[in-house]
């Protein structure tokens, strides 16, 4: 097995390396790929020191799978080049997500749509992944009519520069700004860039990606994205209106038995999901389940997950594992 990690020096790339080590890829041949300025630098994998190589070198090595987390521009330019030589590209940027012919995959939800001919596969946005993990079993059972979602997103979702800004402000040190306002002791109702309709690109992703993954364009989605001074873990307050009547106990049982979901919903014990406690974990945590007294057939819930793991790196590696389990790599 030969696997390329494109964007190996980045925040998500580093977590991809860790997840691959944890999930038994230690004997695979790894190609660490990054931008020109990083070529020649060294990265550890499986106790071995590896040098960063260029995109061209990686393509010449003909990897079986390439995990991309190098930004949209790099993905647009280089993913097709890897695909031409038969490499399965799993891309973590937004570059390919909304192309009709590109599958947008959360393995527990819709891996079955993948085929051996899908050489470019899109990894959804971090906030979308945890959302659809919780929504998918509910949609199958009751049919979702409308979702109102407010996110509380970690600075790690923005990147290294945002993490440095939070630390710099907290320590009262001069720092480069990732946000137009202070993030420490503040919340910023702004994720991505603003669109003409007043929504942001991060909010638009929640609408379009949710519909695509659940394969239902009729679902109404009303999103608000908020950045909070948290270092790891995205949280989401979600109100769901169903087409059909639902049973709260059935939903509890459904979450308790759904793969990749952990139900934490013991209010009398102050037991509910929080970003501080999900860091380093791959599951999606769900809690605060309760009826909406203002709307028939509506449910409120709270969803939290590590945005760098299940929201990015782990989901990508799980897609790779699915491809390997299907034997598609062996048949290249």
**Residues labelled catalytic:** 126, 234
In whole angstroms, give the CA distance from residue 332 to residue 327: 9
Rounded-to-integer distance, Cα 125 and Cα 311, Å? 7
The alpha carbon of residue 134 and the mean position of all alpha carbons in its chain are separated, in whole angstroms, by 14
Please answer whether residues 130 and 305 qualify as being in contact, where contact means their C-beta atoms are separated by less than 8 angstroms.
Answer: yes
CA distance 21 to 15: 10
H-type alpha helices, 47-106: 55-60, 72-84
The DSSP-derived string for 162-209 is: HHHHHHHHHTT-----SSSS--TT--B---S-B-TTS-BHHHHHHHHH
Taking the C-alpha atoms of residue 275 and residue 327, their distance in angstroms, rounded to an integer, is: 36
Cα separation, 225 vs 206, whole angstroms: 9
């Amino acid at each position: 097995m030969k696997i390329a990690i494109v964007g190996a020096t980045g925040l998500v790339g580093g977590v991809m390396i860790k997840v691959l080590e944890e999930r038994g890829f230690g004997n695979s041949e790894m190609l660490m790929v990054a931008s020109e300025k990083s070529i020649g630098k060294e990265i550890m994998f499986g106790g071995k020191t590896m040098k960063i190589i260029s995109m061209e070198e990686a393509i010449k090595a003909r990897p079986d799978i390439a995990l991309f987390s190098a930004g949209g521009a790099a993905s647009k330019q280089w993913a097709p080049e890897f695909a031409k030589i038969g490499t399965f590209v799993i891309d973590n940027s937004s570059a390919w997500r909304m192309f009709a012919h590109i599958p947008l995959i959360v393995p527990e939800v819709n891996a079955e749509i993948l085929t051996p001919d899908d050489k470019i596969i899109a990894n959804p946005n971090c906030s979308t992944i945890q959302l659809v993990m919780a929504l998918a079993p509910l949609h199958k059972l009751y049919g979702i009519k409308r979702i109102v979602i407010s996110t509380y997103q970690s600075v790690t979702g923005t990147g290294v520069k945002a993490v440095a800004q939070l630390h710099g402000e907290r320590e009262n040190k001069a720092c480069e700004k990732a946000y137009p306002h202070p993030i420490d002791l503040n919340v910023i109702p702004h994720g991505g860039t603003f669109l003409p309709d007043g929504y942001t690109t991060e909010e638009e992703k929640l609408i379009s990606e949710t519909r695509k993954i659940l394969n239902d364009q009729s679902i109404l989605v009303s999103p608000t994205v908020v950045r909070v001074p948290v270092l790891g873990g995205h949280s989401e307050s979600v109100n769901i209106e169903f087409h059909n009547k639902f049973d709260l106990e059935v939903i509890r049982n459904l979450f308790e038995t759904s793969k990749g979901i952990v139900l934490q919903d013991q209010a009398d014990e102050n037991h509910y999901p929080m970003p501080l406690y999900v860091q380093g974990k791959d599951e999606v945590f769900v809690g605060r389940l309760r009826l909406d007294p203002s709307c028939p057939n509506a449910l409120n819930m709270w969803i939290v997950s590590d945005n760098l793991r299940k929201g990015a790196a782990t989901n990508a590696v799980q897609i790779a594992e699915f491809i390997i389990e299907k034997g598609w790599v062996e048949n290249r």
